Chains A and B, each alone.
Chain A
Amino acid sequence: MADISPMTDTPKPPAETALPRRTRLTALRESDLWYSFRSHPSAIFAACLLALVALSALLAPLITPQDPYDLAALELWNAEIPPIWNAQGQWPYILGTDTQGRDILSAILYGSRISLVIGFASVMVALAVGLSLGLIAGYFGGWIDNVIMRLGDVLLSMPFILIAILITAVATAALPTHLKDVLAAPILILAIAVPSWVQYARTVRASAMVERKKDYVSAARLIRVKAWRIMLHHILPNCMTPILVAATLNFGLAILSEATLSFLGVGMPPDQPSLGTLIRVGNQYLFSGLWWIVVFPAIQLCLIVLSVNMIGDWLRDALNPKLR
Chain B
Amino acid sequence: MLAFLIKRTANAAFVMLAVALLAFVIFRFFGDPVEMMVNEQATQADRAELRERLGLNDSFVTQYTRFVTNAAQGDFGISYRNQQDVMVLIGERFPATFELVLVATVISLVVGIPLGVITAVHRNSRLANALQLGSIVGVSLPSFVVGILLILGFSVSLGWLPAFGRGETVDIGWWSTGLLTPSGRAALVLPALSLSTFQITLVMRLVRAEMLETLRSDYVKFARARGVPKARVHWVHALRNCLMPVITLTGMQIGNLIAFALVTETVFQWPGMGLLFIQAVTFVDIPVMAAYLMLVSFIFVLLNTLVDVTYAWVDPRLRDDAAKAGGANG
A interface residues, Cβ below 8 angstroms from B: 42, 149-150, 152-154, 156-162, 165-166, 169-170, 173-174, 252, 256, 259-260, 263-266, 279, 283, 286-287, 289, 291, 294-295, 298, 301-302, 305-306, 308-310, 313
B136 touches A313 (CB 8 A): yes
A279 touches B145 (CB 8 A): yes
Q: Does B104 contact A (CB under 8 A)?
A: no
A263 touches B300 (CB 8 A): no
A268 to B199, CA, bound (A): 27
Which chain B residues numbered 257 to 297 have a C-beta less than 8 Å away from chain A? Answer: 258-260, 262-263, 266-267, 277-278, 281-282, 284, 289, 293, 296-297
B266 touches A305 (CB 8 A): no
Contacting residues, chain A, for B149 (C-beta < 8 A): 295, 298
A259 touches B156 (CB 8 A): no
Task: Scan B147-162; emit 1 where CB is below 8 A from any A CB, else 0.
Answer: 0110110001000000
A153 touches B145 (CB 8 A): no
Assuming the contacts A162-B259, A298-B148, asked whether A264 and B136 have C-beta atoms less than 8 A apart, the reply is no
A-B contact count (CB 8 A): 123
Which chain B residues numbered 315 to 330 have a C-beta less than 8 Å away from chain A? Answer: 326-330
**B151 to A, closest residue via Cβ:** A286
Assuming the contacts A286-B156, A310-B136, asked whether A154 and B142 have C-beta atoms less than 8 A apart, the reply is no
On chain B, the number of residues with a Cβ less than 8 Å from chain A's Cβ atoms is 51
Contacting residues, chain A, for B140 (C-beta < 8 A): 252, 256, 302, 305-306, 308-309
Further 8 A-B residue pairs, CB within 8 A, beyond A159-B296, A162-B259, A308-B140: A149-B327, A157-B304, A161-B259, A165-B281, A259-B142, A263-B142, A294-B148, A306-B137
Contacting residues, chain A, for B156 (C-beta < 8 A): 286-287, 289, 291
A-B contacts, 8 listed (Cβ < 8 Å): A153-B11, A153-B327, A154-B19, A157-B15, A169-B281, A169-B284, A170-B26, A259-B144
What's the nearest-Cβ distance from chain A to residue B195, in Å? 13
Which chain B residues numbered 122 to 167 have a C-beta less than 8 Å away from chain A? Answer: 133, 136-137, 139-145, 148-149, 151-152, 156, 163
A159 touches B26 (CB 8 A): no
A286 touches B304 (CB 8 A): no
Q: Does B178 contact A (CB under 8 A)?
A: no
Contacting residues, chain B, for A301 (C-beta < 8 A): 142, 145
Assuming the contacts A169-B281, A283-B148, asked whether A157 and B142 have C-beta atoms less than 8 A apart, the reply is no
What's the nearest-Cβ distance from chain B to residue A208, in Å? 16
Contacting residues, chain B, for A294 (C-beta < 8 A): 148, 152
Residue among A160, A173, A279 with max Cβ neighbours from chain B (10 Å): A173
Contacting residues, chain B, for A252 (C-beta < 8 A): 140
B281 touches A266 (CB 8 A): yes
Q: Does B255 contact A (CB under 8 A)?
A: yes
A266 to B137, CA, bound (A): 26
Q: Does B239 contact A (CB under 8 A)?
A: no
What's the nearest-Cβ distance from chain B to residue A104, in Å? 15
Report, nearest first, the 10 A-B pairs whose CB atoms are least far apart.
A159-B259, A153-B327, A306-B140, A305-B140, A156-B330, A154-B18, A169-B281, A298-B145, A157-B328, A157-B15
B152 touches A286 (CB 8 A): yes
A306 touches B152 (CB 8 A): no
Picked from B11, B152, B278, B300, the residue with its CB within 8 Å of the CB of A158 is B300
A152 to B136, CA, bound (A): 28
